[in-house]
Amino acid sequence: MKRIAPPLLIVAVAALAGCSETPFGEAQPTAETVVLAKPDQTRPQARPAISPPANARTAEAFDTVSAEEKAAAVAVPAARTEQKIGMTVASLGDPTQPGLWLKTPLVNAPRKGRVVYPGSGKSAQVDLIPLDADAGAGSQISLSAMRLIEAPLTDLPEIEVFGS
């Protein structure tokens, strides 16, 4: 016969889970933690990511990147300070995760980059996000980026990856 934890134990564990201090007295960051910039420090203001609507069913509905962001992403960088990182096979990443990104094992730290799909010759500037996998394991690309480079959404296209 299985024993079920007493209701009092469940309540106690749930109550302690909400504590913002560790047993050693040091405060843990919470969702309310705010980091203030120094008055003379300029911080970039990012547009909040817009999640697709709950009833999204088409690629257009899942693609929440604005026209301005798309125009900036397809612009080829003026200063060619980027280096080719490598080639990777890309699959469509989580379509509910907004933005222009590539999760890839070709980088070990987040950085800006560009992807090129040789099949169309199109490129897009993306955020390169490390993916914990072997270098040959392939990558995941955002729906918006895949549409910008005109890669087939249902294929596994091979793309070139450049880092800045």
Segments forming the whole domain that contains residue 150: 63-163
CB 91 within 8 A of CB 139: yes
pLDDT score, position 140: 96
Q: Which residues contact 83 (CB under 8 A, 6 or more apart)?
A: 162, 163
Amino acid, res. 16 = L
pLDDT at 150 over 80: yes
DSSP 3-state assignment of 138? coil
* Residue 5 in domain: no
Give the angle subtended at the CA of 163 by the CAs of 162 and 164, to the nearest 5°.
130
The residue type at 41:
Q
> Is position 20 within any domain?
no
> Is residue 13 in some structural domain?
no
Give the SS3 label for residue 16. Answer: helix
* pLDDT reported for residue 80: 64
Most confident of 37-46, 98-107, 128-137: 98-107
What's the confidence (pLDDT) of residue 44? 44
Asked if residue 142 lies in contact with residue 101, where contact means CB atoms within 8 angstroms, the answer is yes
What are the start-end ranges of the H helices in 36-151? 59-62, 67-74, 143-148
Does residue 22 form part of some domain?
Answer: no
Question: What's the confidence (pLDDT) of residue 81?
Answer: 76
**Residue 82 maps to a domain:** yes
- Structural domain contains residue 3: no
pLDDT band at residue 6, thresholds of 50, 70 and 90? low
Residue 23 lies inside a defined structural domain of this protein: no
Residue 34 maps to a domain: no
Give me the mean pLDDT over the 77-105 stretch.
Answer: 88
Compare 132 and 42 and report the one with higher pLDDT: 132
More confident residue, 77 or 45: 77
What's the CATH code of the domain at 124?
2.40.40.10
Residue 12 CA, chain-centre distance (Å), reads 36
Place of tokens 């201090």: 21
How many independent structural domains does the chain possess?
1
